[in-house]
């Protein structure tokens, strides 16, 4: 694992922690504020982008290409996979 992959994993770890915190708060009596719901959606999208980037970097590396060629794709592209 190179430094860029470590950075991606660090980002994923922070985002997962924040997502977990927001989801835990969403089950409490008061629920989430509109800002918190918006932040949760942002975190979910960012996580999808990170995992996508990591998969593409690994695929490039596996086939002998430069993994740094992989860039973060726009949210609408990453989120459109299942749409």
pLDDT at residue 72 tops 60: yes
Identify the burial level of 75 via C-beta atoms within 10 angstroms of its C-beta, where 0-12 means exposed, 13-18 middle and 19 or more buried. middle
User: Are the C-beta atoms of residues 5 and 54 closer than 8 Å to each other?
Assistant: yes
Tell me the two tokens of residue 6. 């470590």
- For the chain, state the CA radius of gyration: 15
pLDDT at residue 6 tops 80: yes
* Predicted TM-score (pTM) of this structure: 0.88
Tell me the two tokens of residue 7. 């950075």
User: Are the C-beta atoms of residues 37 and 25 closer than 8 Å to each other?
Assistant: no
| pLDDT score recorded for residue 82 | 61
Which of 68 and 31 is assigned the larger pLDDT? 68
Cα 56 to Cα 27: distance, rounded to the nearest angstrom: 34
């Amino acid at each position: 694992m190179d430094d860029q992959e470590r950075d991606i994993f660090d980002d994923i770890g922070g985002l997962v922690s924040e997502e977990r915190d927001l989801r835990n708060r969403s089950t409490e009596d008061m629920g989430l504020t509109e800002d918190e719901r918006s932040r949760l959606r942002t975190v979910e999208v960012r996580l999808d982008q990170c995992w996508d980037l990591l998969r593409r970097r690994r695929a490039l590396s596996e086939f002998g290409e430069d993994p740094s060629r992989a860039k973060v794709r726009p949210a609408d592209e990453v989120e459109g996979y299942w749409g």
